[in-house]
Chains A and B, each alone.
Chain A
C-alpha cells in the first residue's frame, strides 16, 4: 500500500484515522510502498496488520 493513500484509510469499526507503523518499505518514484507493518486506530486502538503490501482491514471478528 502507498503511504500517500493513508488519508483515504480509516478504521472499519469507528471510521477514525489510523496510525502507520511500517517495518518494511520500498521507495517507488515519489511515493513509499509499505510492504509490512501495522495500522492502529487512533481512537479504539484496534491493530490491523499489513502483509505483502496488503492491509488487512477486516473487522477483527472476520479474520480467520
Chain B
C-alpha cells in the first residue's frame, strides 16, 4: 500500500521524488506478479487508493488489441502475458536469427519469449526488471516455455548490468514512462547497443497537460499515466542520447484500450500509445 504522506517529500516534476516513484512502481508490479495471471493491468485506478490487486475483476487489456496476433498469444505458455503493455514491440523490432535482444522492464517475460522465437537458438534474449517478484515469475515462465535462449536479470534500467556494445536490438513495452530519469535510461540504452543497433519500444506519450490530481497520484505514476513524456521531449531525449533516425509515432487506435485504464478520468484525453524507434550510428 502506498503511503499517503509520500507526496509531501521533495516532489519532482511528476509530483513524487525519484525514490517514491520507484517504490510506487515496484510495489504495484510486485503485487501484480503475485496475483494470478491476467488480473493485473497497466490501468490506473486513479485517485482512489485501490491497488491493482484489488481490481482483480478488471482484467488486463486483451493482447490482440495491443497489436499481438492470436498466434503470438498461443505461442507463449500461460502466465507470461499479463496484459500490461501498450503495444507489441517485437512486431516493430525486425528481429533476425542470431540477434542479442535486451528487454527493458521485462515483467512476466511475454515479449522476451516472442523475441526468443525470432532470434532462434543462435540468438539470446535478456530481460531486465527491478521487481524481484516479476523476475521470479519470469523465471518460472522460462521453464514453462522451455526457452533456453532467454535469461532474466534483476536490474534497473537506469543502471543496466550490461556491457558496452553487446546488444543488437532493445525492446520495451510500456515501461520507460515509469522511470524518474528517462534521460539516463536512453543514455544507458545507447551505451549497450552495438553501433547500428536499434531501439523498438512501445510506450505511452503525453498529448495534453495531465491535471494536478492525476499527476501527483502514486497510483497514476505506477499505472503508466503520470510519467508519460511528450513526443517532443522523447525526441530530444533520444537525440541527446546519440540516437539517429528517431521516430515517435502515436497509435490512434490505442485510445479505446487506454480509456479502459480508468473509470474516473478519460485518459485518452492526455495519453496515447506510441511506437518509439531510434538507431545508434554506425
A4 CA to B106 CA, complexed, in Å = 21
Complex Cα–Cα for A7 and B163 (A): 7
Q: Which residues from 175 to 192 on chain B have a C-beta closer than 8 Å to any C-beta of chain A?
A: 191
How many residues on chain A are close to B (CB under 8 Å)? 25
Q: Is the interface of A mostly helix, strand, loop or mixed?
A: loop
Measured CB to CB, the closest approach of chain A to B274, in angstroms, equals 28
A17-B163 CB under 8 A given contacts A8-B100, A8-B126 = yes
Q: CB-CB contacts of B115-141 with A at 8 A, as 1s and 0s?
A: 000000000101000101001100100
- Asked whether, in the complex, the Cβ of B164 is within 8 Å of the Cβ of A15, the reply is yes
B156 x A8 contact (CB < 8 A): no
- Residue tally, chain B, CB below 8 Å to A: 25
A36 within 8 A of B: no
Q: Are A55 and B148 in contact (CB under 8 A)?
A: no
Question: Is the contact region of chain B dominated by helix, strand, or loop, or is it mixed?
Answer: mixed
Known contacts being A11-B161, A62-B130, is A54 close to B139, with CB within 8 Å? yes
The reply to whether the CB of B162 lies closer than 8 angstroms to some CB of chain A is yes
Tell me the chain A residues, 19-34 only, with Cβ under 8 Å from chain B. 28-29
User: Residues 30-62 of chain A: 1 if any B CB is under 8 Å from the residue's CB, otherwise 0?
Assistant: 000000000000000000100011111111001
Beyond contacts A7-B166, A8-B162, A52-B139: 7 other A-B pairs, Cβ-Cβ < 8 A, are A8-B126, A10-B161, A11-B161, A53-B139, A56-B132, A57-B155, A58-B154
Give me the 4 closest cross-chain CB pairs, A-B, nearest first: A57-B161, A12-B159, A10-B163, A57-B155
Chain A positions near chain B (C-beta within 8 angstroms): 1-2, 5, 7-13, 15, 17, 28-29, 48, 52-59, 62, 64
